[in-house]
Amino acid sequence: MERTLSCLHPNPGWEDTNYQDNTSSINHSATDMVGKHCILELYDCDHAKLNDEAFLRTTITTAAKRAGATLLNLITHRFEPQGVTGLALLAESHLSIHTWPENGYAAVDVFTCGDQTMPEQACELLRQEFGAKSHALKSFHRETPAALATAIRHPKA
């Protein structure tokens, strides 16, 4: 049985029978937008909230819903003496947060595939909930390279 992959979710571990290992001959132009990726830096946040694993879990769950994403799984870990990491597996991709309570800082990554989700809404909720006095948000589109979008690829033997 021949398997093909959706052009929206290319898997680099699958072999492309049309692929040539010569980067100068590959067309790097992009076709369809795969999704949107937001990188958020939160500064001068509430130290107690940054160190509260239960708060982080609730806030990540709410942020995923606010973005219009589907939460599949949530993993968190509290470090000693401080700091929490959370990773939400979304049907649309992922949301992660890493906190440094001693610095009042959190690093956030929100990537959602497709055009039905709003990762900026998740970022805004996180900014508000952690009480960030300042923040930096970088948002960009992730695009499928044309070579991956049109290729039929097969699993490696």
Report pLDDT digits (tens) over 22-75: 334 444 444 567 789 999 999 999 999 999 999 999 999 999 999 999 999 999
* Three-class secondary structure of residue 30 per DSSP: strand
CATH class, 34-141 region: alpha beta
Q: Which of 93, 134, 139, 154 is catalytic?
A: 93
93 is known as an active-site residue:
yes
Residues 6+ away with beta carbon under 8 Å from 27 = 145, 146, 147
Q: How far is CA 33 from the centre of its chain?
A: 15
> What pLDDT, in 10s, does the model give residues 65-106?
999 999 999 999 999 999 999 999 999 999 999 999 999 999
98 is known as an active-site residue:
yes
Q: Which residue has the tokens 């001693």?
A: 102
Q: Which of 38, 45, 113, 123 is catalytic?
A: 113
Higher pLDDT, 98 or 18: 98
134 is known as an active-site residue:
no
